[in-house]
Amino acid sequence: MDLVIFSNNRNIVKLFKRVEGSCAWNVSQASVSGVSSSGFSIGIKKRLAMADSAELWYIDAASFTEKKLQSAITAVASKRTVIVGVIDAKGIVVDIGALFSAGAGDYLGPKLCKTPVRESRLFSVIAWKGFEGTVPAKAGLYTGRKKAAALQNAMKAGKSGKRGARQPAIPALSDWASLQSDREYVFTMMYIELDGYRNLGQRVHEAAVERLLAIFQKVVEQYTSPGKGRLWIWNDFGGIVLFPYGGKPENVIIPCMRLMLSRRLVSVEQSGQKLLLSYRIVLYPGSTVYRERGKTGRIISDAVNSLSHIGQKYAKPGNMYITQDLYARSTQSVREGFKETGTYEGTVLYRMRLPIKY
């Protein structure tokens, strides 16, 4: 697949140095000059007219005003063969959500521009957009012929005629029965873990701990089921839940927020102990090879590793976090419930705002 970087800054192009040697991408740079009131530059206009096959573009925000950038994204996204992302190394964009509403497929802010872009991120972007440049609200929800066509395009884009070429991940569908074992899919993943679990045995009897852990697992399943979540990896005190990727992020975020805010209710109704449960939650979109629960021991996934690192090493007890991708694509009302908290291993994170006592 052609990966075109519209920027006058060579350092911006260097952000994609990790993928330049991949057989899946044909990386090129195009200049940005003569930006009109509609947001078009001469280079973008010419390239758009020739884009008859699937292409992934990244436009440098530094050459635009925010209004012209939104206009450019709208125009480019209307071309169903082009997926367009934004590089905002200087932090010019104020309303990131408006870019996704205009049809953007990705946003690289100042913090993400400090490290090279991973190929797995690009695969996730093109999988989410379904290779057809559809608007985010409909992205990733394809089945049947559309799914087959997307996979065929993915294999062509990856030059699959060469033996051993990697197949890009495709978005996981809401129909869990359709997932194929050992196939790579894009999910929204949730990490959840009880806080202070190592000391539970000192606070309650061993039999009570076992009962508490069984109840906690059932509670997680109960609260995540409205978002079509499926418990995937579980290690007594916590684990990973998989959600379908695509559609509206709030369909996943809101059930997890309910779980976070319900900890007192869960503690009273379910534990049967004078014990206030505390747990941390991280929502993270990424790709992984899928296998049924209980058969995941040998799976190697950068996304699963990154999610686990954030949950174990960054997330604070009793808090919930979402990534910038989920934040930017959510509704305004959901975004108001989160605040940017920092970056960990190249991932920009937003922490849920909580009541003083909850």
Q: What is the per-residue pLDDT across 113-162, written as a single tens digit (0 to 9) for each?
A: 998 988 778 877 877 776 533 323 333 333 333 434 444 444 444 333 33
Dihedral angle sign, alpha carbons of residues 194, 300, 132, 26: positive
Could you tell me the fold of the domain covering 2-138?
Rossmann fold (3.40.50)
CA dihedral 251, 190, 300, 136 (to 10 degrees): 20
In the structure, what pLDDT confidence band is assigned to residue 248 with cuts at 50, 70 and 90? confident
Measure Cα distances from 136 to 61, 63, 108, 238 in Å. Answer: 20, 25, 17, 31
Q: Does residue 40 surpass a pLDDT of 70?
A: no
Q: Which two tokens stand for residue 294?
A: 């209980």
Residue range 341-346: mean pLDDT, rounded: 89
Measure Cα distances from 75 to 44, 84, 150, 330 in Å. Answer: 10, 10, 23, 22
pLDDT value of residue 186: 84
Nearest to 3 by CA among 61, 55, 42: 55
User: Helices 42-50 & 66-77, crossing angle to 10 degrees?
Assistant: 10
Q: Which two tokens stand for residue 202?
A: 């000192």
**Residue found under tokens 């309910």:** 258
Higher pLDDT, 232 or 212: 232
In the chain, where the domains are located:
2-138, 184-352
The percentage of the chain sitting over the pLDDT mark of 90, rounded to a whole number, equals 26
Q: What is the chain's Cα-based Rg? A: 21
Q: Please tell me the total number of residues recorded for the chain in this structure.
A: 358
Q: Is 184-352 in the same CATH topology as 2-138?
A: no
Which architecture, in CATH terms, is 184-352? 2-Layer Sandwich (3.30)
Higher pLDDT, 65 or 160: 65
Strands 238-244 and 184-194: antiparallel
Q: Does residue 106 surpass a pLDDT of 50?
A: yes
Residue type, 79: K
**Reported pTM:** 0.62
Higher pLDDT, 346 or 174: 346
Q: Which two tokens stand for residue 79?
A: 């071309």
pLDDT per residue as tens digits for the range 281-294: 999 988 888 888 87
Residue range 273-284: mean pLDDT, rounded: 84
Nearest to 101 by CA among 86, 111, 113: 86
